[in-house]
Chains A and B, each alone.
Chain A
């Protein structure tokens, strides 16, 4: 179920970007715009991924940091016309610290290059088998970094081959109308052109909720809170 949802999301994002290419760039730049903000409350976040029982080990493992599973992403499912020309090549970072990916959820635009520095004292091996982007960065030591360019929209699940409890999500959009929530669950999407949209709040697993929002010609701010159960 979850996989098909991810696939559907990727398809929707792709179809949207593809379908809006015909409009002129000037239209978007001159259109009145507003701001969407609010708070996402995750009532039932997935429990952290535990380390597999280390029955074969001769002693205890060092404790690892728990990932922030409450971090969500809010985005426009139906993006405004000519979202593509707004996208500039970006760079982002998904750190590996205390055997945890930080942040647990990263949202980027298509074409973004994500750096995966290793800030631990042990090896890590970042990889993904997602249909959107398959990659394997191999093993590299502390202080080293390797990078991946994400050139298709969709959800990419990232793991470490050595540490089974490490996982993260990279959400790749072909527009810029999205925001990751902060530690307090708050988010803000800026410069949204006037129009009628479907706003989606996503949290890992199958937790997803959407609602309609309207940015009017003279609307400055739209408040939209979500409660994900």
Chain B
């Protein structure tokens, strides 16, 4: 179906040469209601068995094979109070509210904003720029998409249980907790947002945000699943025109009550937190745009004495070679801490390296076509190396 829609959009794009496409967001009630839309069609010629190994998302969708229709809305009730939402349907699934929150500026002259509801990720930079043409490639950075062997609803009883699940993030299973077949967690998910409240202080130059939410950066929740909240914070500084630096941190309990109940005997003070720290930078000048992001993450596992660590680094760049035409590339590496097991001593999940390169062409100002090739290398699992081609069309208002 995705391939068919992609072909249809290509035809529409060709026909669009003869006339302009609509480009402005829909404005109603004198600008009080503004609606934006996104239609994204991504396709890869490889079947899911090959392509999904490295590109599964937490909804068991393949990031390279995706049909997304999304509508964003900003309802400005007053000049200091708005309701914002983003509803999406992926691959024809039921429409879901990806974001739904209230944004308030309590004092007219003070740069303090409060957001409450299903809110954007405070942590990191990539989640919030997964809008419009914010992603110059088709794949997502590993830290924000690649599924590790960690599950919030099921726990290993020994280190060996973890090692057995190396490179099986698409379907890890453990003896304690849920026996359902489901996927593991990425370090930070960009496919769901958390529910809670967020405060930002400061303007465009320097600002700081703090949020209290139900879930964690890897496993956001509408309803709390463990009676514990996550606190996340971010500081962003525009050091010079075109140079933005950011630092983030988050801590929250990620293990669900369902899994904790299976830990016997239940201890009074169970270690079940996810800690994450991140640094990000973006620099742009002329026709260049360069970004980088590093994340250090640790999951505490109640049944293990060792924390499970993971760290990620990606660097990406985009260069516009002609009006409307750009090339882009991303180097991405995800690595895991070593775990003390009888023999041999090994990282608890298989390190992954990805290089993705591609090009994008603006058929219209708001109609972007992309072609990309990514190669993945993994130090474990059935599939150790895989190259994937992908194409994408993205139309937005």
**Which residues in chain A, 108-161, are within 8 Å of chain B measured between CB atoms?**
121-123, 127-129, 134-136, 138-142, 157, 159
The reply on A4 being an interface residue by CB < 8 A is yes
Cβ of A53 under 8 Å from chain B: yes
Neighbour of B131 across the interface among A2, A55, A138, CB < 8 A:
A55
Chain A nearest CB: distance from B26 CB in Å? 9
Using a CB-CB cutoff of 8 Å, which residues 18-73 of chain B contact chain A?
18-20, 24-25, 27, 30-31, 34-36, 72-73
Whether B73 contacts A53 by the Cβ 8 Å rule is yes
Complex Cα distance A2/B289, Å? Answer: 33
In the complex formed, the residue of B with least CB distance to A2 is: B20
Q: Chain A's nearest CB lies how many Å from the CB of B123?
A: 11
Q: Does A30 contact B (CB under 8 A)?
A: no
Interface membership of A51, Cβ < 8 A? yes
A48 close to B31 (CB less than 8 A):
yes
For residue B240, give the distance in angstroms from its CB to the closest CB of chain A: 8
A59-B115, A141-B241 known; A52 vs B207 contact (CB < 8 Å): no
Does B129 make an interface contact (CB < 8 A)? yes
- Asked if B311 is at the interface (CB within 8 A of a chain A CB), the reply is no
- Residues of A57-74 whose CB lies within 8 A of B: 57-60, 62
Among the stretches B168-176, B177-185, B196-204, B384-392, the one at the interface with A is B196-204
A142 adjacent to B241 (CB under 8 Å):
yes
Q: Is the pair B18, A3 in contact by a Cβ cutoff of 8 Å?
A: yes
Which residues of B from 90 to 137 have beta carbons under 8 Å from A?
99, 103, 105, 111, 113, 115, 120, 122, 127-132
B217 to chain A, nearest CB (A): 15
A206 — nearest CB in chain B belongs to which residue?
B20
Chain B's nearest CB lies how many Å from the CB of A134? 4
Q: Which residues of B contact A29 (CB under 8 A)?
A: none
Whole-angstrom distance from the CB of A207 to the nearest CB of chain B? 14
Pick the residue among B27, B34, B105, B365 that contacts A159 (CB under 8 A): B365
The answer to whether residues A141 and B242 also contact, given A4-B19, A56-B128 and a CB cut-off of 8 A, is yes
Give the contacting residue for B103; candidates A50, A59, A134, A157; CB below 8 A.
A59
List residues of chain A with CB within 8 A of the CB of B159.
none
B27→A52 contact, CB < 8 A: no
Number of A-B contacts (CB under 8 A): 122
> Smallest Cβ distance from A168 to chain B, in angstroms?
13
Q: Known contacts being A56-B129, A58-B122, A62-B203, is A50 close to B31, with CB within 8 Å?
A: yes
Which residues of B from 267 to 326 have beta carbons under 8 Å from A?
A: 284-287, 289, 320, 322-324
B234 and A58: CB pair below 8 A?
Answer: yes
Interface residue count for A (Cβ, 8 Å)? Answer: 36
- Among B99, B111, B365, max chain A CB count under 10 A is at B365
Chain B CB within 8 A of A164 CB? yes
Nearest-CB residue, chain B, relative to A127: B323
Q: Can you list, as one digit per residue, whether each of B333-374 has a CB less than 8 Å from chain A (1) or not (0)?
A: 000000000000000000000000000001011000000000
The answer to whether A50 and B198 have CB atoms under 8 Å apart is no
Q: Is the CB of B31 within 8 A of A129?
A: no
B74 touches A (CB below 8 Å): yes
User: Do residues A53 and B24 form an inter-chain contact, with CB atoms below 8 A?
Assistant: no
Q: Do the beta carbons of B323 and A55 come within 8 Å of each other?
A: no
Interface centre among A4, A121, A136, A142 (most CB of B within 10 A): A136
Residues of chain A within 8 A (CB-CB) of B31 are: 47-48, 50
- Please, which residues of chain B bring their CB within 8 A of the CB of A53? 25, 34-36, 72-74, 84, 86
Contacts A4-B19, A48-B31, A57-B128 known; A136 to B24 CB distance under 8 Å? no
A33 and B127 CA atoms in complex are apart in Å by 63
* Most chain B CB within a 10 A radius of its CB, from A52, A57, A142: A52
A55 and B84 within 8 A (CB): yes
- Tell me whether B195 is interfacial, beta carbon within 8 Å: no
B214 contacts the other chain (CB 8 A): no
A1 within 8 A of B: yes
Let me know if B85 is at the binding interface, CB within 8 A: yes
Contacts of A135 in B (CB 8 A): 323
Report if B189 contacts A (CB, 8 A).
no
Could you tell me if B73 and A59 are in contact, using CB atoms closer than 8 angstroms? no
Choose from B19, B30, B99, B122 the contact partner of A55 (Cβ within 8 Å). Answer: B99
For residue B209, CB closer than 8 A to chain A, the reply is yes
Q: Determine if B73 and A3 form an interchain contact, defined as CB atoms under 8 angstroms apart.
A: no
Q: Which of B131, B209, B284 contacts A56 (CB 8 A)?
A: B131
Q: Which residue of B lies closest to A63 (CB)?
A: B79
Q: Which residues of B contact A57 (CB under 8 A)?
A: 120, 128
Q: Is A31 an interface residue (CB 8 A)?
A: no
CA A142 to CA B238, docked complex, whole Å:
14
Which one of B129, B130, B285 contacts A139 once the chains associate, using CB atoms below 8 Å? B285
- Whether A58 contacts B287 in the complex (CB less than 8 A), given A53-B34, A129-B323, comes out as no
Cross-chain pairs A/B with CB under 8 angstroms, 27 sampled: A3-B18, A3-B19, A47-B27, A50-B24, A50-B27, A51-B34, A52-B25, A52-B36, A52-B396, A52-B397, A53-B34, A56-B130, A57-B128, A58-B198, A58-B209, A59-B207, A60-B80, A121-B241, A127-B323, A129-B324, A134-B322, A134-B323, A136-B323, A138-B286, A139-B285, A139-B286, A159-B365
Q: A2-B20, A52-B132 are in contact. List 14 more A-B contacts (CB 8 A).
A: A1-B19, A52-B36, A52-B131, A53-B35, A55-B84, A59-B103, A60-B103, A60-B113, A123-B284, A129-B324, A129-B362, A134-B324, A136-B287, A164-B132
